[in-house]
Amino acid sequence: MKTFEEKWTAWIDGELTGVELAEFEASLPDKAAAEEERRDARKLGTFLKEHLPCQAMGNEEFFHHQLRERIASETAVPARESTGGGRVWWPIGRLVWVGATALAIFTVCTFFVMREKPTSEQSQYLSEILTARVDPVVNPNATISMFKSKEDKVTVLWVEGLQSLPSEYASQ
């Protein structure tokens, strides 16, 4: 189904015929005013065709015209890029450089933090049992056993039946 505007344009151009023409003219509220507007539109069309003729381009001119249009469209900056909205925030090249920099910083930090420290013979937290004896008068059922492991740098002192540790048992 055509809209009123499509029927109006077809009527002005003389393309409506038969039943469709009769129905459209019957639907016009003021047929005399519509006829006047139709005549004015045709006069304007004729006037424009006479005074604004379309210049035909030769092949060479048409080719140059196409090239100029393509160059203009490729070199023109779109509006969204000129306002900064079209720029990509993290292009691939920038991501690669940022990733490489982060990896280098991580490697340097890891080297300084995790490097091997030369091990000394004794740690400041190491204590050594100087004497391991129990007075049978104070603790008659007490026994002391010492186990040393050089490779793990551990000394275990196993004390059974000791009620209290006398002050002369000290570690340094």
pLDDT at 54: 72
Residue 167 per-residue DSSP state: T
**Mean confidence (pLDDT) of the chain:** 75
Write down the pTM of the prediction: 0.32
**Residues with Cβ within 8 Å of residue 149, at least 6 apart in sequence:** 155
CA separation for the pair 53, 48 (Å, rounded): 8
Higher pLDDT, 158 or 100: 100
The vertex-162 CA angle with 166 and 123, nearest 5°, equals 65
Asked if the structure places residue 15 within a domain, the reply is yes
The number of domains in the chain is: 2
Distances (CA, A) of 169 to 45, 87, 172: 122, 77, 10
Signed CA dihedral, 159, 132, 170, 141: sign only: positive
pLDDT tens, position by position, 124-160: 555 555 555 666 666 667 776 766 776 766 777 677 7
Domain that holds residue 141: 127-166
Find the radius of gyration of the CA atoms of the chain: 51
Residue 98 has pLDDT above 90, yes or no: yes
Higher pLDDT, 31 or 80: 31
Mean per-residue pLDDT, 48-63: 74
pLDDT at 172: 44
Task: Please report, as a single letter, which amino acid is at residue 141.
Answer: N
Higher pLDDT, 152 or 43: 43
Asked if the structure places residue 85 within a domain, the reply is no
Mean per-residue pLDDT, 87-99: 83
Asked if the structure places residue 19 within a domain, the reply is yes
For the chain, give the number of residues.
Answer: 172
Asked if the structure places residue 140 within a domain, the reply is yes
Asked if the structure places residue 116 within a domain, the reply is no
Residue of 128, 137, 132 whose CA lies nearest to 158: 132
Predicted confidence band of residue 119 (pLDDT cuts 50, 70, 90): low
Asked if the structure places residue 106 within a domain, the reply is no
pLDDT at 3: 83
Asked if the structure places residue 144 within a domain, the reply is yes
Asked if the structure places residue 40 within a domain, the reply is yes
